[in-house]
Every structure is written in structure tokens, then in C-alpha cells.
Amino acid sequence: MSLHAESAPGDVAPVRSALRGQYEIQRELGRGGMGIVLLARDERLDRLVALKVLPPQLAEHAETKERFLREARMAAQLSHPNIVPVYRADEINGFAFFAMGFVEGETLGERIRDRGALPAADVVRVLREVAWALAYAHARGIVHRDVKPDNILLERGSGRSVVTDFGIARSDFNPALTQDGYVLGTVHFMSPEQASGEPLDGRSDLYALGCIGFLALSGRLPFEGSAPQAILVAHATKEPPALRSVAPSVPPALAAVIDQCLRKRADDRFANGEELADALGKALQAVESAARDDNGQTALSSDDAMLIWRRAAELQAEAAARLESRMRATAGSKQLVATSMVPVEAQDGATAAGQNSTSDASLPTDAYRLRDVEAAAVEAGISQRYVALALDELRASPNAVQRAQPMPRWKESLATRLFGTSQRTLSVTRRFAAAPRAVLQVLGRSLQAAPWSLALRDTLGGHPLDGGVLVFDLPAMVDGNYKWTWTRYGVYVPELRVSLAAAPGSTKACEVTIHVSLREGLTANIAGYGIIAGGGSAFGGLIGAAIGKKALLLAGAAIGGPALAGALLAGVAVLATAGPLYRWEIRKTEAELQAALATIDVAMRSIDIFGEAPTPPPPRPISSGMDSFGF
């Protein structure tokens, strides 16, 4: 997918002109003391790269230019999956630059600022990958010297952590360059020896990584303050607080690892990145153990395993349908071929794969280990993400997962014939020109307030900013300005799900999708139209009998034939309108979902203009007979 340039500051235009013919500048990614980072397409190799450009006014300073070029030379020596690769370092038309691999996602700093303290398991995975990357660099004589959250990239999709910005790295382990009074490194993450200007080795980076872990797990820094010099003195002389003293919920094993990273003496810390990664690995096992269900569930019954496989397959099929719909809307005639997606009808493959899973003598004969359930699903082509979502659903509400399972084939066939459509899901998506965090906050306020009045029931699959799904219950009709008439009482949908995703190619835009399952309401609709058809047949039969009775008086004929004909005609007429009426209800439901998203858009624009969202109107209660029917 091509990325379009966003509006960029005027100082990017000369760079675009200078590099034209070799790099096509797409947009700005960020900027700092050592230059501007731009997203560009390498025209010769046709790939996206991140260009770090040193402006000419800074390149005039020999020491600044040397530091800038040293970053490229040092990073180019490193080839590791958790270190951003450097492809080229050059100077064209007065602009010194180097081209790096482009990692689409966000920084760890952005994630912490957006979400606050992060789940322990997520923090451990990030720290381990960064520890491996630093161990690799340290083994080659390179100390990063500026390890901080904003220099750790989190790749979207894979979740891989990638270290970047070796701009002040040194390979000779000498003290920082301070002749000009410039402090190299970020004060909140500096080791005591770096703050004191002493010789450094790789253990200084591990101290910084401990500060990052402290921040990610507690939401605060070991030493805080507004004066950089005071923070430097604190790092050099004061003992940091124990992690569990400020974040008691952090598992003890993990807190002990972070506390050891923050020891004042380098000799008291971990000897190297591999040792730290090993300790984090052991802590991760403790974290995962603590995250299990209260009953210590490590296995699923065969029935639950079947539910997980079927539901995961359905979720993946729904995601494929939403993606295909979006692609058709944005690409016109282009068609999406989702060869890896497993439709609901292919659930037998998952079952067969599950039967080949590794057995465990310690488990009942009808039980499956969770990892075997996941492995069987992946083998059948179902993404592990949808297995996790299905598992979250099962744990949150087993009955909801049961209701979401496919109906018997005969009922599916009947519904398709009756309603003239095989559509079982409905999704609407809207793009917002704002960061996901800001949109999420407005979304929560707007949709949970009157007149929409949604009630948040659960979050599945993690935090919404990390791909989790918000599950909302729809309100009953108690408001005169009721907004869910066709969703709740037309297609009989009791809940809807909302997900956010960063818009491709932009950190300042996101897409919100509202998704509903029409399957839960099929039985009610079939029954409803059946009752109407039955009532219509009875009414038609009475009319036919009346006509027959009159004819009998006139001609002496029997009344049975006209009564039967009237009943059949009335029943057929009702059933014939079921399909068009049901599809009309789906369109009305889609309009209600679109209106909900439009409300978020209005609130976002109101905040941009007035600094606050519009005040929703107060609810006006009305009497509704629908509540007496259990709605």
C-alpha cells in the first residue's frame, strides 16, 4: 500500500528537492537534537526506509557532524533482528543523511505515555528483546549510551522490539564528551557512572534498561524532577525506591530483576545482556503463572477446545470479510484474495488438527493443553490472535461463546432461503485524523453517554490500543431519543464490538470499526417471521372461509378449498416479504452504526474548536411495552 505525504514543515522541502531521484519523501516521522527522521521510498530498490537527515546548519559544526556520521558507521556494523539496520550513509547537496530500515509502529515511550503502566508480561518481552540487542552490541565493543523508551520501536503486527538511535554510542568505553557542556544521553535513564562522567561499559546500558522497566511497570521514573542536574545527582548518589514499594502488583520475581539493574555499583548488576535476558525469562514464567485463572486452569475440556477452534475460525473469517469490504471500498475493482483465512465451514480441519495434538498423561483423556489447542489452530491456518480472543471470550462469558457458534446447517440454509442473504456479520469503519489514544478517550465518553448509552462489558484480547476489542451491551428502549431501534429490535443484536487500529502509514490517524454478529438474531427473526406468517395464514384462512361461505350460499359449493387457498396465499405473501424486509433492517442497522461513529467525529471536531466535547441531551424516559417481553 502506498503512503501519501502528510503536511510537513517547510524545512523538509529542501531535503525533498535535494534527494529527488534517489528518495521520494513521504512524510516526517519525528525530529530531535540530531536531525529530522523522514519516511521515504528508496526509488532504486523500491522499499520504504527511514532517512535521518542532519540539517546544513548543524552539519557546519564538525563535532556534531562527526557524532551524526558515527551513529551511521556504528549502527552499520550491527546486524541483529532487534536493532534497526543501516543501509547507507552519504551526503548529497549539503545534506548529510543515512538510510535505515523502516519499522512501522510506535515507540515504547509513546505506548507508556498513552497507556500508563503496562502489563508485566508485555514489559518482560520488550526488555528481553532489548537485552539481547544490547548484548550483541556490547560483544562488539559498542555501548549505546542513550537507551530510553523513545529509542525502542515496537513493530506493529509482530510486536517485535527494535533498538534505534546509536547517535552517541562509543566503541572505546571512554567518558562522555562534555567539553562543550553538552550532556550526552537522557538524564532520566543515565547510569551513576555516566552521570559522573566515568568510564562506561555495557552495564551502563543495563542500568538504563532497568529505569525503562521501572517506568513501564509503575508508570513513574526512579528519580523525578524538573532540574536535569538534580536528577543526575540523584542517579549518582541516591538509592532508587524498590519497585514493589511504588507498584505492589508487580510480581516479586520481576521486581527483583529490575531492582538489580538499578544497583549503584556496576559490579552488583547483571554482568551482561544475556544474563539479564535469562533472568527476565525466568521472571516471565512467574508472570505467566500468576496470570492464570484463579482455579489454576492450564487445560481445556474437549468441548471447550472445540468451542475455541470454532470461535477462532469464525473471528478470523469475520476479520477477513471486514478487510475485504474495506479493500473493495478503497480500491474499487481490486479484489482481496484471503487464501490463508479459514471460513467457519472449514472448522473440521481444526478439529482434525486438534486430534493430533500431543497428549499428556497428567491430563484427563478428554482434555487438551492450551498450547496444544493454539498449535492445532495455527496448523489449520487460524491466527493465534483469534485463538487468544476466543479464549478471552470463553473465560469472560462461556454462554456468549456458546451463543456465537454456527447454527445447524439446516437452520443456516433455511435462514439464507428465507432472507435471501448469507450475510452473518456487519461492520462499519471510519477514519479519524487523530492519534488512537485521543480517539479512544472521546469514543468512551461519547458512546457511553446519552443518547447512545452503551455499557462497557469487557475488553477482549488486551488493551484497545494494542488490538484489544471493546464489548458493549446495547441499552433497552428507555430513552425518547433511542438510537438502536433496528440494531436491538430489528436484527436482534444484544451487543456490539469496537476496535481501533492505527491508520496505515500514519501515527496521527486511526480507524475505528464497529462490528456486530447477525447470527445471534437469526433464530429470533426466523421465529418472528414464522409467527407472522402463521398469523397471516390464519387471517387469510378466515377471509377465504368467509368467501367460501358466501359462495356456498349462492352456489352450494364447499368452503374448505377457499379457506385453504386464502391461508396459503396470505402465508406465502408474508414469507415473500421477509427477505426484503430483513435486508432493509440490516441497512437501517448499518446506518445506526455509522451514526454512532459520526457522533465521535463530531465530538473530535468540537474538541478541536472549543476545547471540549458537546454536552449530550438529557434522557427523556418513555414507556415501552418491549421491556415486558424480556428485551
Q: Residues comprising the binding site?
A: 52
Q: In sequence order, which residues have a C-beta less than 8 Å from that of residue 599 and are 6 or more positions away? A: 446, 447, 452
Alpha carbon distance 219, 212 (integer Å): 10
- 3-state secondary structure at position 90: strand
Q: In sequence order, which residues have a C-beta less than 8 Å from that of residue 584 and are 6 or more positions away? A: none
The catalytic position among 90, 114, 146, 294 is 146
Residues in the chain, overall count:
631
Axis crossing angle, helix 436-448 with helix 560-610, rounded to the nearest 10: 130
| All three cell numbers of 309 | 477452534
**Which stretches of 6-127 are assigned E, i.e. beta strand?**
23-32, 35-42, 47-54, 86-92, 95-101, 105-107
> Are the beta carbons of 570 and 562 closer than 8 angstroms?
no
> Is the sign of the CA dihedral 195, 200, 203, 208 positive or negative?
positive
Asked about 627 being catalytic, the answer comes back as no
**DSSP label of 83:** B
Closest CA to 395 of 500, 264, 499, 304: 304
Alpha carbon distance 305, 356 (integer Å): 13
| All three cell numbers of 574 | 408474508
> Is the sign of the CA dihedral 564, 567, 573, 575 positive or negative?
negative
> Are the beta carbons of 600 and 439 closer than 8 angstroms?
yes
Residue numbering of the annotated binding site for ATP: 52
Alpha carbon distance 260, 209 (integer Å): 11
Number of Cβ within 10 Å of residue 40's Cβ equals: 27
Work out the angle at residue 589's Cα, subtended by the Cα atoms of residues 588 and 594, and round it to the nearest 5 degrees: 95
> Are the beta carbons of 166 and 71 closer than 8 angstroms?
yes
Closest CA to 118 of 225, 250, 243: 250
CA atoms within 13 A of residue 355's CA, in its CB half-sphere: 5
Alpha carbon distance 197, 194 (integer Å): 5
Could you list the active site residues?
146
